[in-house]
Amino acid sequence: MGDSLNTVPAHWKTKKLVELTETNNISYGVVQPGQHDPDGVPIIRVNNFSANGVDTSEVLKVSPDVAEKYKKTRLIENDVLLTLVGSTGLTYVVNKAHEGWNVPRAVGVIRPVKTINPHWLKICLDSSFTKHFLDSRANTTVQKTLNLSDVKQIPIPIPPDHEREFIESVVLSLNGRISKNIEINRTLEQIVKALFKSWFVDFDPVIDNAIAAGNDIPQALKHRVEQRKQARQLPDFKPLPDDIRVLFPSEFEQTGEPIVGFDGWIPKGWKASNIGSSFDVTMGQSPPGSTYNEIGEGIAFYQGRADFGFRYPKNRVYCTAPKRLANKFDTLVSVRAPVGDANMAKENCAIGRGVAAVRHQSGAISFTYYSIQNLSHYFERYEGEGTVFGSINQKDFKNLPYVAPDDLVISKFEAISSSMDEKVDLNSKNLVELEKLRDNLLPKLISGELGIRKQHKEMVSG
């Protein structure tokens, strides 16, 4: 399509993105966020973005002193955000829940004029034309980066109001259905996450067994005892069935490794281990760019988090001469900024240097996926945005601490979680079809190829 929107209908107008902003400017946020401050101002980072919005269940907060220096990028409702570093080109329209928040250097803030619908800007920024426009200008010397000077020049088509509103209604309707599917999946995933945390992080069944047996509880776990006693008094509390409860020990032992468990206390018989000892890890390697294509030749190739979806990555690029492979249902982990995001391979695939493939040595699929997600607090130390890009190498990845449970407990978790993960899988397939429909329609709608003007008039007159 080149650099101009020469395929839009003649009666449409086109303006540069910067001309549609309140201050004729587009800004990025906090350059050096610093350490997390629980009492600080939350920021929406690149790792909070996905192809379908943002997930701010886990956020970094910057100190008030740092936030004060970046007041002009404090978010207000209807700001449009655009990722500039790493997973570039992802967008989000700010709602009231995120007013007063900020962004880092890796995210641009676009404040539209009152006469333009922010959702129209998002629709245009999400279009294939804009993706190609930005990709042709991205700097990939260290990590894929967009310059604000190029972002400001993005051409935005502006149809007559009735045509624009028609296109918005079609795209927003599909986005709504997509969001509903994602929300269902997120709820199912949160249920399994809660089970994983209860069994393998908080050790709830072991504490319950220790209380029942009258065994001594380590001082480091006394607070957990009180929490469990309170939980057991709740009307909706359901004790574990006997066949599951007996799989867990009723005592704790000290490992001498304070980095794992509660001050080094873990269930008796379990082991203080690391990722490399308990999981098979394959670090990705990028083949020559000449072997890439977007027409489906070769094997699906995932380069980094930009390819990740809610649970499964999207087939955007293929490779005819892969260097490193991942197997179907391996957990895929982003090892370059943002570090630690996880997806699951839906097929045998190739992985580039921004991705690692992980599988527990028992072959447990769900257990692997939730184990990696539970490492987020360790991955944070390798995360960097702005002038320093986060990454984790193979040695550090394999050395991440891990409490190795009994294999029977892993098998039981796998049996329970698999039923919910099957529902997520089915829902994800429906999600793919909706996204495919939207992504196929969007370039045709935004270029006027579908004859919106005529169709809309016929719908109105009919």
Residue 459 has pLDDT above 50, yes or no: no
Cα angle, residue 146 at apex, residues 140 and 147 outer, rounded to 5°: 115
pLDDT computed for residue 338 by the predictor:
77
Cβ atoms of 124 and 130 closer than 8 Å? yes
The CATH class, in words, for 276-404 is alpha beta
**Domain segments of the chain as ranges:** 1-158, 161-243+406-462, 276-404
Distance CA 93, CA 426 (A): 28
Distance CA 458, CA 462 (A): 6
Residue 455 has pLDDT above 60, yes or no: no
Burial 324-360 (b: 16+ CB within 10 A, else e): bebeebbbbbbbbbbbbbbbbbbeebbbbbbbbbbbb
User: Quick one: which H or E segment has residue 223?
Assistant: helix 222-232
pLDDT average, residue stretch 373-377 = 89
pLDDT computed for residue 451 by the predictor:
59
Tell me the HSE value of 282 on the side-chain side, using a 13 A CA sphere. 18
Q: Which residue has the higher pLDDT, 121 or 144?
A: 121
pLDDT tens per residue, range 258-286: 666 677 899 999 999 999 999 999 999 99
pLDDT tens per residue, range 216-264: 988 888 888 888 889 888 898 888 999 999 999 999 999 877 666 677 8
Q: How far is CA 69 from the centre of its chain?
A: 28
Q: Which of 88-97, 339-348, 372-381 has the lowest mean pLDDT?
A: 372-381
List own/partner pairs for 240-244 with CB under 8 A and 24 or more apart.
Answer: 240/205, 240/208, 244/205, 244/412
Cβ atoms of 303 and 352 closer than 8 Å? yes
Residues 6 or more apart whose Cβ sits within 8 Å of residue 196: 367, 370, 371, 374, 413, 417
Identical fold at 1-158 and 276-404? yes
Q: Which of 267, 307, 302, 310 has its CA nearest to residue 282? A: 302
Distance CA 221, CA 265 (A): 8
**Is the peptide bond preceding residue 249 cis, with omega within 30 degrees of 0?**
no
Percent of the chain whose predicted confidence (pLDDT) is above 70: 92
Length of the chain, please?
462
Classify residue 69 by burial, with Cβ atoms within 10 Å: 0-12, 13-18, 19+.
exposed
How many helices (DSSP H) and strands (DSSP E) are in the chain? 14, 23
Cβ atoms of 268 and 404 closer than 8 Å? no
pLDDT band at 327 (very low <50, low <70, confident <90, very high): very high
Distance CA 262, CA 266 (A): 7
294 three-class SS? coil
Q: Is 387 left (phi over 0), alpha (psi -120 to 50) or beta?
A: alpha
pLDDT band at 387 (very low <50, low <70, confident <90, very high): very low
Residue 391 has pLDDT above 90, yes or no: no
pLDDT tens per residue, range 33-58: 888 899 999 999 988 887 678 888 88
The CATH class, in words, for 1-158 is alpha beta
In this structure, the dihedral spanned by the alpha carbons of residues 439, 420, 45 and 133, taken in order and rounded to 10 degrees, is: -20
Q: Which residue has the higher pLDDT, 200 or 139?
A: 200
Q: Which two tokens stand for residue 118?
A: 């922010």
pLDDT band at 376 (very low <50, low <70, confident <90, very high): confident
Residue 1 has pLDDT above 60, yes or no: no
Q: What is the DSSP string of 116-171?
A: S-HHHHHHHHTSHHHHHHHHTT-B-SSS-B--HHHHTT-EEEE--HHHHHHHHHHH
Q: Which of 71, 122, 115, 72 has its CA nearest to residue 93? A: 122
pLDDT computed for residue 261 by the predictor:
66
Q: Which of 179-188, 283-292, 305-314, 330-339 has the lowest mean pLDDT?
A: 305-314
Convert 412-446 into a string of H (helix), E (strand) and C (coil): HHHHHHHHHHHHHHHHHHHHHHHHHHHHHHHHHHH
Residues 6 or more apart whose Cβ sits within 8 Å of residue 365: 329, 344, 359, 414, 418, 421
Q: Which of 389, 393, 437 has its CA nearest to residue 142? A: 389
Q: Which two tokens stand for residue 281?
A: 């890890």
Distance CA 178, CA 176 (A): 5
Mean pLDDT of the chain: 88
